[in-house]
């Protein structure tokens, strides 16, 4: 016998065989059952359910208290045993169904929180990336000329050109004035 066969043939080693005690109906998936349990849990939490349950219990108690002894099916003398049994049975089914609905809601909340966390991480990464890009642009723009700087330089150039233009005109006017002073005073020859 090989080592592997000896290990699998041991009596004290549990075998991994799962058997279902109750077979699930062929048309009922766990998702369908979960949806039905959520609908049931939602219905049990409505005022409509409470009103109908109150009416049911009130009619039951009134019938079995005030009806003739022969018509009572759950007499007061036996402390409404059947009503107690029915309410206990309803509670014994309601509690697990409500817990199942809560577990499904917890699972949905967990998935939603996980998606929110992933989205928040993405948003944080995008924000950090954009912050780095803006910082890099600021650093790059320190060396670049801004609009105000260019306007100021153009104003300075205009003023400089105007002052040079005035100087040139002044020189031209002075030169013209010197020519007028040097010209003979007699009539100018005509050709």
**pLDDT tens-digit readout, 45-89:** 889 999 999 999 999 999 988 988 888 888 888 888 999 999 999
Separation between Cα atoms, residue 149 and residue 142, nearest integer Å: 12
Short-list 101, 103, 91, CA closest to 37: 101
Separation between Cα atoms, residue 191 and residue 188, nearest integer Å: 10
Residue 186 lies in a domain: no
What is the crossing angle of helices 47-66 and 30-44, to 10°? 70
Strands (E), 130-172: none
pLDDT mean over 4-15: 59
Question: By residue range, what is the domain housing residue 52?
Answer: 28-119
Residue 33 lies in a domain: yes
Residue 77 lies in a domain: yes
Using the predicted structure, report yes or no on whether residue 171 has a pLDDT greater than 60: yes
Residue 147 lies in a domain: no
Separation between Cα atoms, residue 114 and residue 45, nearest integer Å: 28
pLDDT in tens, 12-22: 665 666 666 76
* Residue pointed to by tokens 């039905």: 36
3-state secondary structure at position 27: coil
Tally of structural domains, the chain: 1
Residue 78 lies in a domain: yes
Residue 48 lies in a domain: yes
Distance from CA of residue 36 to its chain's centroid? 28
Using the predicted structure, report yes or no on whether residue 174 has a pLDDT greater than 70: yes
Residue 175 lies in a domain: no
pLDDT in tens, 133-160: 999 888 887 777 778 888 888 899 888 8
């Amino acid at each position: 016998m090989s080592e592997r066969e000896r290990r699998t043939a041991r009596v004290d080693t549990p075998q991994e065989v799962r058997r279902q005690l109750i077979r699930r109906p062929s048309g009922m998936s766990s998702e369908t059952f979960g949806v039905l349990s959520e609908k049931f849990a939602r219905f049990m939490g409505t005022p409509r359910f409470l009103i109908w349950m109150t009416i049911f219990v009130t009619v039951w108690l009134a019938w079995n208290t005030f009806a003739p002894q022969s018509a009572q099916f759950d007499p007061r003398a036996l402390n409404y045993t059947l009503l107690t049994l029915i309410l206990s049975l309803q509670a014994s089914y309601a509690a697990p169904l409500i817990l199942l609905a809560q577990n499904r809601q917890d699972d949905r909340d967990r998935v939603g929180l996980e998606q929110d966390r992933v989205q928040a991480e993405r948003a944080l990464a995008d924000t950090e990336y954009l912050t780095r890009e803006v910082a890099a642009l600021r650093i790059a723009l320190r060396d670049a000329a801004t609009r105000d700087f260019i306007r100021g330089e153009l104003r300075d150039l205009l003023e400089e050109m105007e002052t040079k233009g005035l100087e040139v005109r002044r020189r031209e006017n002075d030169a013209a004035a010197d020519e007028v002073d040097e010209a003979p005073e007699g009539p100018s020859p005509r050709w």
